[in-house]
Amino acid sequence: MSNISVEGVTKEFGDTVALRDVSFTVPDGEFVIVLGVSGSGKSTLLRCMNGLTSPTDGEIRVDGTPVDSPRKDIAMIFQQHNIIGQMSAYSNALTGSLSRTDFLRSVFQLQSDEEKHRALEALDTVGLLGESQKRARQMSGGQQQRVGIARALVQQPNILLADEPVASLDPGSSQQVMRYLRQAAAERGLTTVISLHQVNLARKFGERFIGLRDGELVFDGYRDEFTMDVIDRIYGDIDTEGMFEADSDGDADEQVVSE
Ligand SMILES: Nc1ncnc2c1ncn2[C@@H]1O[C@H](COP(=O)(O)OP(=O)(O)O)[C@@H](O)[C@H]1O
Ligand SMILES: [Mg+2]
């Protein structure tokens, strides 16, 4: 269990201010969705939170300790999962961490029984236990992303960060992946921050929302405060129509935006 706090974080790339004085704290076990259009600073925020990038100003802290490089207790899931097509779902999950040593150990199957057990458990969490021996390249994009989630879980993180984990998936697979992410986070009590650009997915799965616009935090609040006005504040004049993707399973509660 861990909390993570973003304290006055500014990140500049030359003249571009990607994040401007952003502050918020995510308590133990909370599930947060970061929303914003392309270029609003979502990836930069998550990369700072993971220690992949250092803020120009301000600080990230996990349980009070500054984060200045990637750490094993913070797992990251990307849009482009580095899944290896020739390897089985199980072997991919077993690679757990991205370090070269771990990778070689997995190729030569030098993991302990405990690690193997964890990989199977993680595949079970994402509903792929039955497919564990299937080669990743024979799986759908959504299944591959679930393997990516399993691989992150094998790392036994306290904090899970996901940068647009469903951006390249169709609406049906996106919902399924979000469902598994939320379930994994709840089952394991993970502190979770996921960036998304689709408002409907955010509304369906989120508890707390952080809105970024041009690198500034323009909203931080819970479901009941996440109104159309707030969506306007985050998306401004941008036409959000395309972001309310058609829902594939037709649940009534997915028709979230009414005038
Ligand atoms: N490595 C980089 N070098 C220069 N500019 C960058 C870099 N990374 C991001 N930016 C800029 O920072 C801003 C925020 O980008 P990003 O965090 O990728 O937003 P998002 O993930 O919401 O699309 C954009 O203007 C982007 O062009
Ligand atoms: Mg991004």
pLDDT at 238 over 50: yes
Please give the DSSP secondary-structure letter assigned to residue 191.
Answer: E
Of 109, 138, 156, which residue is a domain's last?
156
| pLDDT-derived band at 253, boundaries 50, 70, 90 | very low
108 and 56 share one domain: no
Q: Is 13 exposed, middle or buried (0-12, 13-18, 19+ CB in 10 A)?
A: exposed
Say if CB 54 and CB 13 are below 8 A apart: no
Q: Residues enclosing ligand 1, CB less than 6 A?
A: 13, 16, 18, 36, 38-44
Report the separation in Å between the CA atom of 196 and the middle of ligand 2, taken as the mean of its atom positions.
9
Report the separation in Å between the CA atom of 9 and the middle of ligand 1, taken as the mean of its atom positions.
15
> Is residue 181, in this structure, part of any structural domain at all?
no
The structural domain count of the chain equals 2
For range 5-9, the mean pLDDT: 98
Mean pLDDT of the chain: 88
> Is residue 253, in this structure, part of any structural domain at all?
yes
> Is residue 174, in this structure, part of any structural domain at all?
no
> Is residue 175, in this structure, part of any structural domain at all?
no
Say if CB 121 and CB 127 are below 8 A apart: no
85 and 143 share one domain: yes
> Is residue 35, in this structure, part of any structural domain at all?
yes
65 and 102 share one domain: no
> Is residue 171, in this structure, part of any structural domain at all?
no
- Report the pLDDT value the prediction gives residue 251, as an integer from 0 to 100: 41
- Report the pLDDT value the prediction gives residue 43, as an integer from 0 to 100: 97
13 and 29 share one domain: yes
> Is residue 144, in this structure, part of any structural domain at all?
yes
pLDDT at 247 over 50: no
Say if CB 122 and CB 90 are below 8 A apart: no
Residue in 6, 15, 16 to alter for ligand 1 test, most ligand atoms within 8 A of Cβ: 16
How many CA atoms, within 13 angstroms, populate the side-chain half-sphere of residue 79?
13
91 and 150 share one domain: yes
Of 156, 182, 198, which residue is a domain's last?
156
Report the separation in Å between the CA atom of 80 and the middle of ligand 1, taken as the mean of its atom positions.
17
Of 156, 180, 209, which residue is a domain's last?
156
62 and 111 share one domain: no
89 and 139 share one domain: yes
Domain around 142: 75-156
112: domain CATH number? 3.40.50.300
> Is residue 168, in this structure, part of any structural domain at all?
no
Predicted confidence (pLDDT) per residue in 106-139, tens digit: 666 666 788 889 999 999 999 999 999 999 999 9
Nearest CA to ligand 1 atom 24: 39
Atom of ligand 1 nearest to the CA of 36: 22
